[in-house]
Amino acid sequence: MASIKDVAAEAGLSVATVSRVLNDHPSVSDDARRRVMAAVEALSYRPNAVARSLRTDQTRTLGLVISDVMNPYFTELARSVEEEARALGYSVIIGNADERPELQDHHVTTLLDRRIDGLLVSPTDRGSPRMLEAARAGTPMVFVDRWIPGVDVPVVRSDGRDAVRDLVAHLHALGHRRLAIIAGPAATTTGRERVDAFREALGDHGLDLPDAYIGQGDFQADSGRRVTEGFLDLAEPPEVVFAADNLMALGALDAVRARGLRVPDDLALAAFDDVRWFVHTDPPVTAIAQPTGALGRAAVRALVDRIEGRPGESVTLPARLVVRRSCGEPAPTTQSPHPSPVRRSTS
Amino acid sequence: MASIKDVAAEAGLSVATVSRVLNDHPSVSDDARRRVMAAVEALSYRPNAVARSLRTDQTRTLGLVISDVMNPYFTELARSVEEEARALGYSVIIGNADERPELQDHHVTTLLDRRIDGLLVSPTDRGSPRMLEAARAGTPMVFVDRWIPGVDVPVVRSDGRDAVRDLVAHLHALGHRRLAIIAGPAATTTGRERVDAFREALGDHGLDLPDAYIGQGDFQADSGRRVTEGFLDLAEPPEVVFAADNLMALGALDAVRARGLRVPDDLALAAFDDVRWFVHTDPPVTAIAQPTGALGRAAVRALVDRIEGRPGESVTLPARLVVRRSCGEPAPTTQSPHPSPVRRSTS
DNA sequence: CCTCCTCGTGGAATCGATTACATGAGGAAT
DNA sequence: ATTCCTCATGTAATCGATTCCACGAGGAGG
């Protein structure tokens, strides 16, 4: 593969001049510019990004360490992150942690070794030494969706408190009184917060959340199935399950169906995270929708701000409830794939 | 960030020795090794992958340019690619082409600029000059899922011919005679092949595929919706639509539902690509399942073989039919989320 | 005791770019 | 005519690693 020296030789100029042309530095003659361009063309030369990065100490690359790529929510997040990054002139390298701390650590390490300019993380746990160390050492970093308390890093996330309140009001209005939740891992902020928000909202209606109605999941479908089976085996099973993410809701659907029961008649179901498939499931699932694209974009902007020496602030965007049929209400008759929400949180 | 020089200074040795320890070269004394390790620890030194790559001319990184990350089939493929690559000591950088040739070209270019060791592509079109040039120039490359005829690059894909034949037999047995297809872009091999296989299978039953029953889609949900609406507007609409990928099937489902019609009663539906959500849609969708994980792994192995100087061969794996309820047959009574296929292709 | 190997180590070149500094030509100002 | 700038260009240092080559110490064999 042709290097800058080959181009310089072909053009009859020094590498310095070639470099100047390539980085359109003002002080080059038109003649030199033309000759360099011709040589570049003739050799189909492309600058070596590795060499350039070594010299300039910047890779124009962002690392994104995500909890689980197979989760449509994170897939969408990753996509919006890449789009915004590309618009700002950065590439993105995605690392999939699969909800496993040791894999997360592996990806953080290799990304850091590659000297990415900044790191976007949706932490699976409370943070490995390597990650905390990097944050302390000043590697530009932003948490997205989930975060680690006590670490001084901007957080871009969505606040589901209002939406959960709307959801509980909706469920209460439908006559449900025994409400259960399939929680996410306690090591994640989203795992804890969603339970807290749910409990708080139940409190508003004078209901409480007994321990038996808190199932411990891990954000994966299997755990949703397992927890739901446990709920159905209780002497007094809940009337509704609220899954803290879309995959556990899918697992819950599996469990209900495997027993030959029906949603919502035998057990109502709601989920955190709205995904397009929820429109087509049997029945369509009532869910709390996060502004996923906006989160990804905001996270990238905050990170790039940090990288380029600007402040880079935390952002919190509201989630909203999307009512469908999985909790018992007849479907609003509408053509739209996303029936109108009960209430839209203010932004 | 500490460099190898700092480590050398701290250990009281030369950078050469430090480098030898780090790459566990045989000829280093135990004493030197200990001192280097101590210095590495003390400075929490990590080697700079950028510098290393420049010197060794290898990045231990694979590029994966995928047609559409939001498509669950490709998400799963990407995941298996990353897993296998990691097992073989490589990282993966994913570029999402979003079915847009110019985006595909953008990613191929930046990946090549970064001097990735090899490229895995699922081409969106017939190939940009840059990509064809890279293939000709000997950049290790493997096509996965889709390929470009006439380019001398191994292809790892799945053959759906038998499964499509099984599908058509199934549809025919259910009494369907007017069968339509939502095709993928003609620029892609999968777009063309699935239509051919379908037509051929229809021929086996003395049926033909009129032009009016071939809708032109682009592998995205919207096109599935549009084409299906067109089918429903025909004087003699088809009894079945076969969508050439899962997203177009989703669009078809939208279209049917928007008219207040039912699957399979008013229109039966089948899809190429099985995704886990198809079990839970209303009704569960009959689909052709590709061995996605195996494809991803085989593709990585073929690519790494090429990179490391071994042959690196093409692989074709069979797809199989998974019957559910969207074509009219009552569901087989089973607990399994994937009811037993009508017939399993031999591997 | 001399020669020859082996082993551990260090010096320095190298990968492909960017960039500070030097240089020389040519024009403007005095 | 002399001095001083500006502009286009080149030389060479540099980034952080790897690796070829040279060298000295020490042991084995004659």
Residue range B44-80, pLDDT digits in tens: 999 999 999 999 999 999 999 999 999 999 999 999 9
CATH architecture of B57-157+293-316: 3-Layer(aba) Sandwich (3.40)
- pLDDT tens, chain A, 347 aa long: 899 999 999 999 999 999 999 999 988 999 999 999 999 999 999 999 999 999 999 999 999 999 999 999 999 999 999 999 999 999 999 999 998 999 999 999 999 999 999 999 999 988 889 999 999 999 999 999 999 999 999 999 999 999 999 999 999 999 999 999 999 999 999 999 999 999 999 999 999 999 999 999 999 999 999 999 999 999 999 999 999 999 999 999 999 999 999 989 999 999 999 999 998 888 899 999 999 999 999 999 999 999 999 998 999 999 999 999 999 865 454 444 444 444 433 33
Q: Which nucleotides on chain C have any atom < 7 A from a protein Cβ?
A: 7-12, 14-20
Q: What pLDDT shows up at residue A145? A: 96
Distance B137 CA to D4 C1' (A): 53
Which backbone phi and psi does A327 adopt, to 5 degrees? -110, -5
Asked if B250 lies within 8 A of A49 by C-beta distance, the reply is no
A-B contacts at Cβ under 8 angstroms: 105
pLDDT single digits (tens) B173-192 = 999 999 999 999 999 999 99
Q: Has residue B18 got a pLDDT over 80?
A: yes
pLDDT single digits (tens) B273-312 = 999 999 988 889 999 999 999 999 999 999 999 999 999 8
Residues 2-31 of B with CB under 8 A from A: none
**CATH fold group of domain B4-47:** 434 Repressor (Amino-terminal Domain) (1.10.260)
Name residue, tokens 């990045």.
B59
Asked if A113 lies within 8 A of B59 by C-beta distance, the reply is no
Nearest to A116 by CA among A94, A136, A87, A97: A94
Question: Does residue A281 sit at the B interface (CB-CB below 8 Å)?
Answer: yes
Give the containing element (helix H, strand E) for B257. Answer: helix B246-258
Q: What pLDDT shows up at residue A329? A: 67
Q: What pLDDT shows up at residue A19? A: 97
Please state, in angstroms and rounded to a whole number, the distance separating the CA atoms of residues A14 and A137: 39
Say if domain A57-158+293-317 classifies as CATH 3.40.50.2300: yes
**CATH fold group of domain A159-290:** Rossmann fold (3.40.50)
How do B118-121 and A320-322 pair as beta strands?
Answer: unpaired
List of residues 6+ apart from B330 with CB closer than 8 A: none
Please state, in angstroms and rounded to a whole number, the distance separating the CA atoms of residues A22 and A8: 12
Q: What pLDDT shows up at residue A127? A: 87
- The angle at the Cα of A270, spanning A265 to A271, to the nearest 5 degrees, equals 150
How do A240-243 and A286-289 pair as beta strands?
Answer: unpaired
- The angle at the Cα of A223, spanning A220 to A228, to the nearest 5 degrees, equals 130
Question: Does residue B94 sit at the A interface (CB-CB below 8 Å)?
Answer: yes
Distance A117 CA to C18 C1' (A): 18
Q: Do domains B57-157+293-316 and B159-290 have the same CATH topology?
A: yes
Domain boundaries, given as residue ranges, for chain A: 4-47, 57-158+293-317, 159-290
Q: Which nucleotides on chain D have any atom < 7 A from a protein Cβ?
A: 7-12, 14-20
Identify the DSSP state of B281.
B
How do A320-322 and B240-243 pair as beta strands?
Answer: unpaired
Structure tokens at B327: 């074509």
Structure tokens at B294: 């195996």
Cβ-based contacts of B276 with chain A (< 8 Å): 221, 250
Distance A30 CA to C23 C1' (A): 21
Asked if A280 lies within 8 A of B281 by C-beta distance, the reply is yes
Please state, in angstroms and rounded to a whole number, the distance separating the CA atoms of residues B81 and B92: 8
Question: Does residue B343 sit at the A interface (CB-CB below 8 Å)?
Answer: no
Cβ within 7 A of any strand D atom = A 12-17, 20, 26-29, 31-32, 54-55, 57; B 1, 3-5, 15-16, 19-20, 22-23, 47-48, 51-52, 54-56
